[in-house]
Structure 1
Amino acid sequence: MYPLKFGPIYKEKIWGGRALEEKFSKQLPKGSIGESWELAAHENGTSIISNGNLAGMSLMEAIKQEGEKILGTEAKEDYYKKFPLLIKILDANDKLSVQVHPDDEYAFEHENGELGKTEMWYVIDAQEDAKLVYGVKPEVDKEEFVSSIKEGRLEENLIEVNVEAGDVIYIPTGMVHTTHKGILIAEIQQNSDTTYRVYDWNRMGKDGKPRELHIEAALDVIKFGTKPEEKVVGLEIKEEGYVRTILVACPYFTTETLDIAEKYSSDTNHERFYVLMGLEGKAKLSYEGGEMELKAGETLLLPATLGEYELVGECKLIKSYIRDLAEFKAELKELGYSQEEIKQIKGL
């Protein structure tokens, strides 16, 4: 096995732009491109492998052929039917709709067996004074929320936060959120494309009509009366040649950033697959049998049987994977990290 590259899947959005072209020199089609699906195995977009002897296969076709070699010994049986992650880059050139996502139980029942959508946003770039909406004010109940939608004053019930490059937001299901304009985001999420729009700024779609809202479903899943999460700080681990910051560890994914000054070495150990997304700079990735370059804006899947690998260069990337949280927490405690330090990791 070898690191798998994929052709991106571009999605035109009313709120999209051309930042992916400017930031990462991506070859975009015409139009306002709001999303680049970097790694996907969903009915609304499926990644095709672009390198090596599996080139031309979809991700799920490769998994069907190679199975555990890609997914690993720790993979759940469900992963062979539906790949668990969807990795994107979002270009919010304008405001996204005010939205919320359901959990697994609700989505399975109401969205034809779809997964829920817990996600994490890493702010790659942001204009000055960029803002996100991140939650409903805790004192706002469902009745007031509905009234504020009808009366056109929803914004006063939403929590706004300023963001800049490097900020990380953890968005569990039931959390109302959106972005204002001028933000480029790496999104790590469950493999779901279910979004319930609450409000869309009174704008029209490409057909000249207001875009569909899903207020009733949204009200079913919004978790009113809960205090929104703070921005993710993460647990920073400094090693010779790199800094590793564990950001989120939830049942659906674990994410960390790697700031590599010289080199970083690791091993897939046949247990699980890993996804690497380049954020800044570039590095040479070496593994048994070959080497390749990983640049900013590129995403790779490291199959479970890849084995030992090394990244050499000056770069920053996101590393995503799935693992048992109880084992992970126990490992961190054994390494000497306190409960307070571990709490810096969201979702754990």
Structure 2
Amino acid sequence: MPEPLEPIVLPANQPPQFYRGGAAIAALRGDETREYGPEDWVASTTTRFTGGPDGLTRLPDGRWLADAVTADPRGWLGDPHLRRFGDSTALLVKLLDAGQRLPVHFHPDDRFARAHFDSHFGKTEAWIVVGASGDDPTVYTGFRETLPAATVRDWVRDQDAPSMLEALNAVPVAPGDTVVIPAGLPHAIGAGVFVVELQQPTDFSLTMEWRDFLDSPEQGHLGLGFDTALQVLDTSGWDEQRLTSLIRRGDDEPAGRDATDPAAAELLAPLADGFFRAERLFPRAAPAGTLTLTPGFAVLVALGGAGTLASPHGETPIARGDTVVVPYGAGALELSGDVTVLRCRPPA
């Protein structure tokens, strides 16, 4: 009889990147700082676009998580998930610490990814801001006004970064804020912003502002050519009212759509529902000091304090800086203690 599946505390997984960052990840995890370690891919079954094992999570027992899921998809994901997504986890979670501003870029939607990358998934994503430093921590989301496609093509051809950035909405952010980034939406993350990012499980980034970041324009358009890549770019205007469909404001306490329950609060705007789910869990605020987590594949990120995850088979300590992958087969879990946890899940 196979061993019962349990929550697994994961080591850091920081594939090389082209931009600086990582100090905030190191501070959260208590690890050594890496200048070019700005992303920690948590519970990842996704590889870098360039191929090879970079990006994949290796479990403490030496197996790749992707291999473990493929070997026991029902145990890891459960039958309802398998019927919708097959043996894909349908989720990638990252810790992302921008040590410098990221370039202006966008991502393909599912339809474009199927046509051009032979992938079931595009790359809609969302950010949960967990840290912000510097004088003006800012993210950039969507063009302020609708732009002619020819204007954008000219900016990309000339690598007119000031015009690209000026055309975007500059949105100041603070810890507790969340932002959903639909596929196609041009965006960037400013220096000093530290997020937990949920996304569809791909590495498709179409980078309009490639100069000074990437080695070649081919890396920017992923071999498609910019004429093709820009077909999926959203050039429509996003005014303040429209941005409210993407952005939720919060603080260091649980907040979101269900702020009536301080123990378990949904964090993301409804636009995210078809792609992923995120909650902030604070079991100490629950009536019995314990939260029951329903069975299902999940990724946990502990932001503060310490507590315990109890399953029918045993207990797993969880404390600030821990990242944990939870298989469906672990069953219902009891989270207790003075701990604050982000629970990231695939769509319902």
TM over 0.5: yes
Aligned residue number for residue 163 of structure 1: 173
SS in 2 for 1:125: strand
For residues 155 and 191 of structure 1, what CA distance do their matches in structure 2 show? 27
Greater CA drift, 123-132 or 299-308: 299-308
What displacement does 1:143 show?
2.4
What displacement does 1:218 show?
3.9
What displacement does 1:92 show?
0.4
Conserved in 2, the CA contact under 8 Å of 1:203 and 1:211?
Answer: no
> Letter of the aligned partner of 1:122 in structure 2?
I
What displacement does 1:38 show?
1.2
1:235 aligns with 2:257: yes
SS in 2 for 1:76: helix
For residues 246 and 13 of structure 1, what CA distance do their matches in structure 2 show? 28
1:110 aligns with 2:116: yes
SS in 1 for 2:89: coil
What displacement does 1:69 show?
1.7
- Cα deviations by residue, 1:183-202 (Å, 9 ceiling, x for unpaired): 111111100000000114x4
> Letter of the aligned partner of 1:21 in structure 2?
A
What displacement does 1:151 show?
7.5
SS in 2 for 1:144: helix
For residues 116 and 323 of structure 1, what CA distance do their matches in structure 2 show? 15
Q: Name structure 1 gaps, 5 residues minimum.
A: 325-348
Aligned residue number for residue 9 of structure 1: 13
- Cα deviations by residue, 1:260-302 (Å, 9 ceiling, x for unpaired): 3353322434xx3222111222222122221122223322122
Question: Which structure has the highest strand share of the two?
Answer: 1
Residues 219-234 of structure 1: matches in 2 within 5 Å?
Answer: 219-227=230-238, 228-230=242-244, 231-233=247-249, 234=256
Conserved in 2, the CA contact under 8 Å of 1:284 and 1:294?
Answer: yes
What displacement does 1:304 show?
1.6
SS in 1 for 2:165: helix
> Aligned to 1:120, which of 126, 134, 137?
126
For residues 322 and 277 of structure 1, what CA distance do their matches in structure 2 show? 15
Percent identity at matched positions?
25
Aligned residue number for residue 131 of structure 1: 138
For residues 216 and 297 of structure 1, what CA distance do their matches in structure 2 show? 42
For residues 210 and 222 of structure 1, what CA distance do their matches in structure 2 show? 17
* Shift in CA distance, 83/273, structure 1 to aligned 2, threshold 3 Å: closer
Q: Please, what TM-score do these two structures have when normalized by structure 1?
A: 0.81
- Cα deviations by residue, 1:6-40 (Å, 9 ceiling, x for unpaired): 33321233322231223321245x54212111111
**How many residues get paired?**
313
SS in 1 for 2:131: strand
- Cα deviations by residue, 1:158-217 (Å, 9 ceiling, x for unpaired): 1111111111110110111101111111111100000000114x4255x7x788432434
SS in 2 for 1:316: strand
* Shift in CA distance, 68/133, structure 1 to aligned 2, threshold 3 Å: same
> Aligned to 2:266, which of 222, 245, 256?
245
SS in 2 for 1:47: coil
What displacement does 1:78 show?
6.2
Greater CA drift, 313-322 or 141-150: 141-150
> Letter of the aligned partner of 1:224 in structure 2?
T
Aligned residue number for residue 185 of structure 2: 175
Conserved in 1, the CA contact under 8 Å of 2:97 and 2:195?
Answer: yes
* Shift in CA distance, 72/309, structure 1 to aligned 2, threshold 3 Å: same
* Shift in CA distance, 93/211, structure 1 to aligned 2, threshold 3 Å: farther
For residues 180 and 187 of structure 2, what CA distance do their matches in structure 1 show? 11
What displacement does 1:244 show?
2.1
Q: Please, what TM-score do these two structures have when normalized by structure 2?
A: 0.81
Conserved in 1, the CA contact under 8 Å of 2:98 and 2:191?
Answer: yes
Conserved in 2, the CA contact under 8 Å of 1:145 and 1:157?
Answer: no
SS in 1 for 2:248: coil
Aligned residue number for residue 328 of structure 1: none
Residues 1-348 of structure 1: matches in 2 within 5 Å?
Answer: 1-19=5-23, 20-27=25-32, 30-44=34-48, 45-50=55-60, 55-77=61-83, 79-113=85-119, 115-127=121-133, 128-149=135-156, 150=158, 152=160, 153-200=163-210, 202-203=211-212, 205=214, 212-214=219-221, 215-227=226-238, 228-230=242-244, 231-233=247-249, 234-239=256-261, 242-248=263-269, 249-262=272-285, 263-269=289-295, 272-324=296-348
SS in 2 for 1:22: helix
> Letter of the aligned partner of 1:144 in structure 2?
T
Greater CA drift, 272-281 or 189-198: 272-281
